[in-house]
Amino acid sequence: MEKVVVVTGANSGIGLALCERLLSSDSQVRLCLACRNMERAEAARAALLTSHSSARVDLLHLDVGSVPSVLGAAEEVKTRYSRIDFLYLNAGIMPNPTVDIRAFFKGLFSRNVINMFATAEGLLTQQDQLNSDGLQEVFATNLFGHFLLIRELEPLLCQPGHTSRLVWTSSSNARRSAFSIEDIQHRRGKEPYSSSKYASDMLSLALNTHKNKQGLFSSVICPGLVMTNLTYGILPSFFWTLIMPIMWLIRIFTNTFTLTPYAGAEALHWMFLQKPESLDPRAKYHSLTSGLGTNYTEPRIMDLDDEMTEVFFSKLLELERAVRRNLSEKTADSEHYQQYINRT
């Protein structure tokens, strides 16, 4: 039976590696690459068809950082497919990252080097900005756009007698200390990426609480430390040239340095092979690579608070209603809307 799999952010990195692995493991997969840049999406599709000439690979224009784009893409999906088996929520951004160079070199030659690379704690900040919808760009792209997409696609995801899966690409950088329930968009902080990834961990748990009875199951993975376009954007290229030999050496002693997109996609692909009932909704499933280069998946319990998770879910529903109301009334610059958005 054909399995419809939608992957956001599928034109490069972990997303593209996942698509390659899915096509290699199951001939019944029908892929939908949901991407913002259609030129790159076309190139990704061509590359996949080169090695899998008979595969069914569709393209969908989707900018998860734009509410109108999400709504338009969801309508397109509903006209193409009668159901969705897997929705991989993989797209994400880390704009204008700034590295504390002093802390970086101090950590590079310390016992904390592995944790520093794995979590970027105390090392990495970003400069966020508002998008055209009046939302913080990182929050909108990494979390809210995906949430809105799920809500729009519920008719295809929550069908009687059918099980559908959501799989979030989270991060080891997802930390509770970076998130504030009083500032869910992280307007006043300097770690929007970490905040948004912790928020996705909470949202996954909330979706399981509210949607499992309707046949929709959500899971979270961490790809480990992977060298992708996002990672390379953190430091100047000559820095990576200098430290890559060190990173490959460190990989012998730690399992979190997956380094390649193929290895980073291990947990994403592993999820495709599992029955949702066997998975722990409170666990994050990590892509890991042994010192000998063996890739495997391991669950680790997330630091989540049930009460805060439910409050957060309610806030997202309130924000969704405000955004929809704003679009229907065409009052994007209304004072009332902006005042509400600024409070979230």
Report the catalytic residues.
193
**Pairing outcome for strands 97-99 and 124-126:** antiparallel
> 301-325: buried (b, 16+ CB within 10 Å) or exposed (e) per residue?
ebebeeeebeebbebbeebbebbee
Distance CA 326, CA 223 (A): 36
Strands (E), 181-294: 216-222, 283-289
Joined tokens for residue 180: 């504030």
Angle at 52 between CA 51 and CA 56, to 5 degrees: 145
**Pairing outcome for strands 164-169 and 86-89:** parallel
Q: Which of 220, 289, 238, 282 is nearest to 259 (CA)?
A: 289
Distance CA 187, CA 135 (A): 9
